[in-house]
């Protein structure tokens, strides 16, 4: 069982929180990467904790969330402007609700990125959820989240993503760029039947049809001899994904409910052709 994880000193911690983050199983995930891999691909980037934990010479990070990718682009190219915008914000429910009510599309790019980082830091459990109008609607979490990411961490992450291509796209569009010699890590939002704990992420982000598409791409990557790892909750869907591939089971404490007293052990499968 993997619980709290202290990364090696030379790694870079992500600057975002993310529901379902794989921070606690990084020791296992890191073992799949080696220096023979020429490039790193992650089509469900989220907080990209594995990417920030290793040192890929080149990378492609993709995600369907336009606010996430816009934020990464600003941190990549204009990190000092983002840091300046964050320095003007203070932690409070009033500030949180005021920022949440703003339309990001009417904001300067750096202010938009700062808004996303601030809401991510102080929202409930690192969730990203929107209503039918596309407006972010996750409630304020209070004082349990700690402070803002330090400026030096943002600078370090900016240096890390300098050699990464960023794509706001469906996972298939990212995987179409995969080549022999690449390492592909796929951590899709779970589409587990009868498990409310995972549906709380956002039931519309990844469907059972998407799971079928993912399985098809796993077979394509294997046929092309492109290395990949998929992480997925132990479930009927995971049974479909793992068929014919090597896998290992890891147990990790999840804090989906947002309170330490509600942490529970859950099994996840790491499915691979390596």
Mean pLDDT of the chain: 88
Element (H, E) at 213: helix 208-223
Q: CATH code for 23-64+169-272?
A: 3.40.50.150
For 96-135, b/e burial (b = at least 16 CB within 10 A) is beebbeeebeebebbbbbbbbbbbbbbbbbbbbbeeeeee
Decide which of 1.10.1020.10, 3.10.290.10, 1.10.10.10, 3.90.1150.10 is the CATH code for 72-156. Answer: 1.10.1020.10
Six-digit token pair at 46? 């989220």
pTM: 0.88
Q: Which residues contact 192 (CB under 8 A, 6 or more apart)?
A: 198, 199, 233, 235, 236, 237
- 252 has which bridge partners? 2, 266
Cα dihedral sign for 215, 219, 224, 228? Answer: positive
Q: pLDDT tens digits for 225-255?
A: 999 999 999 999 999 999 999 999 998 766 5
Closest by CA to 188, choosing from 52, 29, 62, is 62
Q: With contact defined as beta carbons under 8 Å apart, do 110 and 82 qualify?
A: yes
DSSP state for residue 149 in the 8-state scheme: P
DSSP state for residue 256 in the 8-state scheme: T
Q: Where are the domains of the chain?
A: 23-64+169-272, 72-156
For 238-260, b/e burial (b = at least 16 CB within 10 A) is beebbeebebeebebebebebee
Q: pLDDT tens digits for 101-124?
A: 999 999 999 999 999 999 999 998
pLDDT class of 192 with cuts at 50, 70, 90: low
């Amino acid at each position: 069982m993997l619980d709290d994880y202290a990364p090696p000193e030379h790694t870079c911690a992500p600057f975002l929180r993310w529901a379902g983050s794989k921070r606690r199983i990084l020791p296992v995930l890191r073992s799949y990467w080696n220096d023979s891999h020429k490039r790193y691909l992650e089509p469900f980037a989220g907080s990209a904790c594995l990417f920030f934990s290793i040192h890929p010479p080149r990378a492609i990070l993709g995600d369907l969330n336009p606010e996430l990718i816009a934020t990464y682009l600003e941190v990549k190219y204009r990190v000092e402007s983002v840091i300046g915008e964050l320095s003007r914000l203070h932690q409070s429910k009033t500030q949180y609700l005021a920022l949440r009510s703003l339309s990001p599309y009417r904001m300067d790019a750096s202010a938009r990125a700062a808004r996303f980082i601030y809401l991510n830091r102080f929202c409930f459990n690192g969730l990203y959820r929107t209503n039918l109008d596309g407006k972010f609607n996750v409630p304020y979490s209070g004082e349990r989240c700690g402070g803002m990411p330090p400026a030096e961490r943002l600078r370090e992450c900016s240096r890390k993503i300098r050699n990464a291509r960023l794509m706001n796209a469906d996972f298939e569009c990212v995987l179409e760029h995969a080549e022999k010699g690449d390492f592909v890590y796929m951590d899709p939002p779970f589409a587990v039947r009868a498990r409310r704990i995972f549906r709380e992420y956002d039931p519309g982000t990844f469907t059972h049809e998407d799971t079928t598409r993912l399985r098809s791409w796993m077979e394509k990557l294997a046929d092309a001899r492109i290395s990949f790892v998929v992480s997925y909750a132990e479930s009927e869907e995971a049974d479909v994904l793992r068929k014919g591939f090597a896998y290992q089971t890891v147990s990790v404490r999840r804090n989906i409910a947002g309170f330490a007293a509600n942490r529970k052990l859950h099994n996840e499968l790491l499915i691979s052709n390596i």
